[in-house]
Amino acid sequence: MKTVIIGIAGGTGSGKSTFTNRLKEEFGDDVTVLYHDNYYRAQDHISFEERKKQNYDHPDAFETELLLEQLRDLREGKTVNCPVYDYSLHTRSSRVLTVQPKRVILVEGILVLADPRLRQLLDVKIYVEADADERILRRVIRDVKERGRDIEGVVEQYLTTVKPMHYLYVQPTRALADLVINSGMNQVAFEVVRNYIRKLLEDAE
């Protein structure tokens, strides 16, 4: 079974998770999804207050080596135990997520296209972009409603690390993508990728 790995990148709040989840809903168990965010490094060795101050938008914040290892294992038909990140604690939880090998693997995250080793594993590279104002508003809503953050903390993090890291590490990867789309709800782009995946699955039958 030849595995096809599709990377979906873009800035915070750009719509990449929306696009990824739409594909997952479309194909269900025929595809599997790995979220780069789950590979944030464990930070049990420092206090909660120190964790809150870390730069989570720098490539070094991720244990990309583990993601690479598990992607290679999945490509070889092996099942992996993916880490699960706890945003409320700013570290990994004690849980793991058992991921089965599938014909199509979606890998989603802000820096999926930033690491050359990871790019080499990707058969298709997608970058989702959105206006900066839209992205910060979406992030505020998400972090407050879903991740238990306060607005002041979200704004401070955005200004001190998220915004500068976006321009330094995330936005430059736009030029490395095979497909750039302007919204996670872009129906034409969704249909293009959906039809591509559907043909892969049909050819594998």
CA distances for 172 relative to 10, 37, 129, 157, 204, angstroms: 10, 19, 12, 21, 35
Residue 92 reports pLDDT greater than 80: yes
Question: 10 Å Cβ neighbour count for 104?
Answer: 22
Strands 80-86 and 91-99: antiparallel
Predicted confidence (pLDDT) per residue in 122-172, tens digit: 999 999 998 777 777 777 777 777 777 778 877 787 878 888 898 999 999
**6-15, 88-97, 101-110, range with greatest mean pLDDT:** 101-110
How many domains is the chain built from?
1
Give me the domain span that covers residue 62: 4-204
CATH (domain of 144):
3.40.50.300
